[in-house]
Structure 1
């Protein structure tokens, strides 16, 4: 697999707002990095669960994008996240991969890791291709 960085998310305002960056993209897989900044934390200082869910969606979405020709996209139709421990530290790493790509539906999984490489969350995402 050739590892590359695709700039398809340069114009994503949400990614820019939270500081999400694509680190690695290969066929059917992606690694994203999110610096933990005050604005994405909740009252106890941990990353808000909604942001962690966004990471799951973004990591699998990037992995899917690596498989699609230009102009094609997927839309999230289902997202499941299991939170395993509070998300804290300096950054989070999201590792996503496509498990199965059909003609209209795609299923992928993601693991979210903290600075100590401990799992913070795992998730499963289904997309509809359009």
Structure 2
């Protein structure tokens, strides 16, 4: 995952219109943008609350990936607080690996709407794992 690859290629990232924005090595913080597909709309025309977990989980996974030099996360729990409705427009998620360990990582994220208003917060615990059928990442 680099700043040169604007769209992430695995199916869940593509579905959510994921775009890698930046990574701050000092704070272990990833910023990603997402464009929710029309099917994410609820009856009020906002992003359905449960579907906001996807972009937040995606960004937290990226934070763990970068903080652990290429390991994957397997989410053990995700706790979300919804602060306001999220319009069907571009959203930004900032995720930080609070503690990226060899076996367990603690991660947090904040989701912002197109105007920069905080709409949701989440914390998660994840198990740090190797790539399936590989020892050292996708290009090994």
TM-score under structure 1 normalisation?
0.85
Is contact 2:77–2:125 with CA below 8 Å preserved after alignment? yes
Which stretches in structure 1 are left out of the alignment for 5+ residues? none
1:26-45 paired onto structure 2 within 5 Å: 26-27=24-25, 28-45=28-45
Which stretches in structure 2 are left out of the alignment for 5+ residues? 130-140
Is contact 2:36–2:47 with CA below 8 Å preserved after alignment? yes
Over 3 Å counting, the alpha-carbon distance change for 1:36 and 1:75 in structure 2 is: closer
Q: Which aligned segments of 4 or more residues in structure 1 are displaced greater than 3 angstroms?
A: none
Whole-Å separation in 2 of the counterparts to 1:76 and 1:45: 29
Deviation at 1:89, TM superposition (A): 5.1
Whole-Å separation in 2 of the counterparts to 1:102 and 1:68: 8
Q: Which residue of 2 aligns with 1:59?
A: 59
By relative contact order (CA 8 Å, sep 6+), the higher-ranking structure is: 1
Whole-Å separation in 2 of the counterparts to 1:107 and 1:53: 16
Deviation at 1:91, TM superposition (A): 1.1
Whole-Å separation in 1 of the counterparts to 2:4 and 2:53: 22
